[in-house]
Amino acid sequence: MESATERAMESATANAADLVVRNAKIHTGDPGRPRAGALAVRDGVLTAVGDDKDVAALIGPGTKVVDALGRRLVPGLNDSHLHVIRGGLNYVLELRWDGVPTLRQGLAMLREQAARTPKGQWVRVVGGWSAEQFAERRLPTVAELNAAAPDTPVFVLHLYQSAVLNRAALAAAGYTRDTPEPRGGQIVRGRDGEPTGMLLAAPSALVLYSTLAKAPVLEGEDKKTSTRHFLRELNRFGLTSAIDAAGGFQNFPENYSTVVELAAAGQLSLRIAYHLFPQTAGQEIADLRRWIEMARPEDGDEWLRLNGAGENLTWSAADFENFAQPRPELSADYEGDFEAAVRLLMENGWGFRLHATYDETIRRDLAVFEKLAADGLFPAGNRWLFDHAETVSADSLDRIAALGGAMSVQNRLSFQGEAFVRRYGPGAAADAPPVRAMLERGLTVGAGTDATRVSTYNPWIALHWLITGRTVGDLVVRPPHNRVDRHTALAMFTEAGAALTGEEGVKGVLRPGCLGDFAVLSEDYFTVPEPDIARIESLLTVVGGRIVYAAAEYEGLDEALPPVSPEWSPVARFGGYQAASGGVSGARQAELLGEAVAESELHRQWRTRRDPAPGTGGPVLDPCFGL
């Protein structure tokens, strides 16, 4: 006969949590209970959010108990615009300059990686950095890339503006004096007509991305390994969800197969809601119609789900975000195809997201939506949003609100703020984008990074930008009237992202019944000095009750990953984001800056000796920097 003690033990075991975190400073995001000290997760869902006494009865023999040691715990971050699928397929092939403080360090990393890279492979630096973050405030030159890697192809992408290639990369890409100029781009040539190694977006970045596409890609299991390591890198910063914005060179379904296979095997550590983006101009309607027959939005589960079309619907309606160039003039009649695409989506229950940098584009798009709305065809109960919207006007925001739209903003001006100010002036930059005006109209405004080809994937850089208005070069672009407080910024990275995928009832806040997604932070986000917000990382990231990232005192609690493959991968040697460990002392920072400035002056003198400007004796303008 079973004893009372045995029955009590069985009952405790039946109700026991899989994971309990106690002794935490929890920001729940739930107005009903904004603060807590402990939580419990069972079967991927929060079963208790309260104090230590509220979870004590849920601790059984198999419960994993984690002491947060008084640290801040927040809902898992959700990047509302991240090219996570494409980023995962390439992550282990890329040398990341994200967070690197000097060009000198970046070139040293590049030189070492070139020596490790086997014949036939490229060294590629693709996004996550800006010349403004370096103490030297400049790009690498072709000569420096040739010196660092005489025989290994090197491709260095700088924002949406340019790419620098060494001579080996020019040869590997097949660029010669006879190569025709690409549409919307420029191959910079020397006096002899030969390519110098500089590619310019003028204003389209297609020449940059099509050149990068000539580099070798991963095959087979290496694509899965790369994606898993990229997701772990995102977990490192407390990310538990992302909305994939699709993008160029991301074909459906073939380029989505890796995340589909990982989801089927239960090996995703980040929840992904994805979009579909027609890849071929002139074929957009046919692609959309084919996809509508294959799938429906919200197909999938809480780990991997279709969220709709975009961020482009038709190529003719896409403007470019290269702020070093004038605003592009779109074709005078793109509305015909664009309206057909929107009508098709609305009639079949598909929402969408739409890339639009400039108000001139947004106004034209809104006219199409309003025409359809007059016939009762828009938005027809479907979710839709504008992405980016750096120069959106107050009138356009009113029209977006009237049509039930939403917004997703990214910190592209963290990296391009200086270029934007030079072209449009500080007044325009102050409201680029007008985040506060969006929020004041009651719009849902999700926040993201637009990583990985321009901005870094580190969400704390974006949070720092939302709160301080500063670029990675420390230029104040957005004044106080267009900044948000820390609570609002965090909600844009949690609750708003969930709303953009229709999941606001199950994630973005921490309350019983919601998904068990959260992060224990290295510093208290709500109290650290503003400059230190950008240095925050997660020490423990949990998705659905699974510990997917663990560092410091929690190291070893997370799931094992296969080794980085191939072995020569830059990630195997350098990792991803280059965080400053504990910051740099004032004296050492001044010393590093002095070294960088001295090296920059030596570089200037070398250029002067090599190609002096007759009769001036002053600095020489290098055409490589004519951006």
Please choose, from the candidates 459, 548, 485, the residue with its C-alpha nearest in 3D space to the C-alpha of residue 77: 459
Calpha distance 542→518 (Å, rounded): 5
Calpha distance 258→253 (Å, rounded): 10
103 has a pLDDT exceeding 90 = yes
Band the pLDDT of 2: cuts 50, 70, 90. low
Q: Are 400 and 367 in contact (CB under 8 A)?
A: no
56 has a pLDDT exceeding 90 = yes
Calpha distance 27→95 (Å, rounded): 35
What is the model's pLDDT at position 583?
42
Calpha distance 316→329 (Å, rounded): 10
Calpha distance 14→21 (Å, rounded): 19
Residue range 249-287, pLDDT digits in tens: 888 989 999 999 999 999 999 999 999 999 999 999 999
Tokens representing 137 are 């405030």
Query: Which secondary structure element, helix H or strand E, spans residue 589, and what is its range?
Result: helix 586-610
Residue range 595-626, pLDDT digits in tens: 555 555 555 554 455 444 433 333 333 323 23
Q: Residues 556-581, buried b or exposed e (16+ Cβ, 10 A)?
A: eebeeeeebbbebbbbeeeebbbbee
Inter-CA distances, 551 with 188, 228, 461, 556, Å: 46, 17, 20, 8
Type of residue numbered 324? A
414 has a pLDDT exceeding 70 = yes
Calpha distance 608→593 (Å, rounded): 23
Q: Are 271 and 303 in contact (CB under 8 A)?
A: yes
Type of residue numbered 233? E
Calpha distance 383→346 (Å, rounded): 10
Q: Are 149 and 95 in contact (CB under 8 A)?
A: no
CA atoms within 13 A on the CB side of 189: 14
What is the model's pLDDT at position 567?
97
Instruction: Report how far Cα 148 is from the mean position of its chain's Cα atoms.
Output: 29
| DSSP assignments along 147-167, one per residue | HH-SSS-EEEEETTTEEEE-H
Q: In the predicted model, what is the mean pLDDT of the chain?
A: 92
Q: Tell me 498's DSSP state.
A: H
Backbone angles phi, psi at 82, to 5 degrees: -140, 135
Query: Which secondary structure element, helix H or strand E, spans residue 496, and what is its range?
Result: helix 495-500
Type of residue numbered 609? R
Calpha distance 417→476 (Å, rounded): 9
219 has a pLDDT exceeding 90 = yes
Weakest mean pLDDT among 214-218, 381-385, 607-611? 607-611
Helix (H, G, I), strand (E, B) or coil at 122: coil
Query: Which secondary structure element, helix H or strand E, spans residue 386, and what is its range?
Result: strand 384-388
Helix (H, G, I), strand (E, B) or coil at 485: coil
Helix (H, G, I), strand (E, B) or coil at 66: strand
Q: Tell me 202's DSSP state.
A: S
Helix (H, G, I), strand (E, B) or coil at 145: helix
Helix (H, G, I), strand (E, B) or coil at 305: strand
User: What is the C-alpha R_g of the chain?
Assistant: 25
Backbone angles phi, psi at 606, to 5 degrees: -60, -45
Mean of the pLDDT values across residues 52-61?
Answer: 96
What is the model's pLDDT at position 620?
31
What is the model's pLDDT at position 588?
40
Residue range 570-585, pLDDT digits in tens: 999 999 999 875 444 3
Calpha distance 296→309 (Å, rounded): 10
57 has a pLDDT exceeding 90 = yes
Torsion of CA 568, 573, 575, 576, to 10 degrees: -60
- E strands of 37-137, at which residues? 38-42, 45-50, 64-67, 72-75, 77-82, 123-126
Tokens representing 421 are 């100010």
In angstroms, how far is the first alpha carbon of the chain from the final one? 84
Please choose, from the candidates 125, 93, 88, the residue with its C-alpha nearest in 3D space to the C-alpha of residue 109: 125
Tokens representing 509 are 């806040």
Tokens representing 270 are 């980040």
Tokens representing 541 are 């990231």
Please choose, from the candidates 539, 520, 545, the residue with its C-alpha nearest in 3D space to the C-alpha of residue 24: 520
Cis peptide preceding 311, ω within 30 of 0 = yes
Q: Tell me 63's DSSP state.
A: -
Band the pLDDT of 248: cuts 50, 70, 90. confident
What is the model's pLDDT at position 15?
87
What is the model's pLDDT at position 204?
86
| DSSP assignments along 520-580, one per residue | EESS-TTTS-HHHHTT--EEEEEETTEEEEE-GGGTT-SPP-PPPSSTT-HHHHH-SS---
Residue range 150-162, pLDDT digits in tens: 999 999 999 999 9
Q: Are 235 and 223 in contact (CB under 8 A)?
A: no
Torsion of CA 412, 418, 421, 426, to 10 degrees: 100
What is the model's pLDDT at position 598?
54
What does pTM read for this prediction? 0.91
